[in-house]
Structures are given as structure tokens and as C-alpha cells.
Amino acid sequence: MCTGSLVLAAAGLLSGRPATTHRDHLDRLAGLDPSIDVRRGPRFVDDGPVVTSARVSAGIDMALHLVARYDGPGAAESTRSGIQYEADPGPGPGPGA
């Protein structure tokens, strides 16, 4: 999550993919690989096997999204409730999620 996208980009794992990172590092992400479709609005971007997030709280939203993907919405809600987290209603994963 967060600036982990920079590590993925440096390793070539985001080439040609949509991705996001912490708002302070979006230009750096774009500079690492111009083929990355840098998403500046979503809290997280789900591109199938690669999911990136914008910051720490967005990483929680991303994790709950993955729980829902693999174990269903009920499991994600139970997890959210269990950690007493109120999800941010801001932009989600964006198109293609």
C-alpha cells in the first residue's frame, strides 16, 4: 500500500497497468515508468492480480475490498466491524474494478 507502488514500478510490475500511490508521490510513480496509468483520484486501484492504494487508511479500504473479493461481502463487513473501522466514502477502485 501507499508508496509500495514505487517498489512495484521499479521492479517493472506495474508496466502498462493502472495504479495509484500516496498523493505526494504520484509524479514520481509516473516518472518511474511512463506506461503506468497513474490514477490520481481513487483510494485504491484493483487491476486483478495487482492492487495498489493511495495511503494508509486507503490500504485498509483496499484490504477490505480484497476480503470481499475472496471471502464475500459478509466477511468484509465482519472484518470492518471487528476492527471498528468506518470506511471512507471517497472514490473506490475506479473503472474496471
Domains of the chain: 4-82 (3.40.50.880)
* Structure confidence by residue, pLDDT tens digits, 5-28: 999 999 999 999 999 999 999 999
* Structure confidence by residue, pLDDT tens digits, 33-90: 999 999 999 999 999 999 999 988 899 999 999 999 999 999 999 999 999 998 765 6
3-state secondary structure of 14: coil
Q: Give pLDDT, residue 30.
A: 97
Pairing of strands 37-38, 18-19: parallel
Distances in whole angstroms, Cα of residue 52 to Cα of each of 10, 74, 78, 82, 84: 14, 23, 23, 23, 23
Task: From 43, 48, 74, select the one nearest 59 (Cα to Cα).
Answer: 43
- pTM attached to this predicted model: 0.81
Q: Give pLDDT, residue 1.
A: 61
Q: How far apart are CA 21 and CA 37, in angstroms?
A: 12
Catalytic sites, residue numbers:
2
Q: Give pLDDT, residue 94.
A: 56
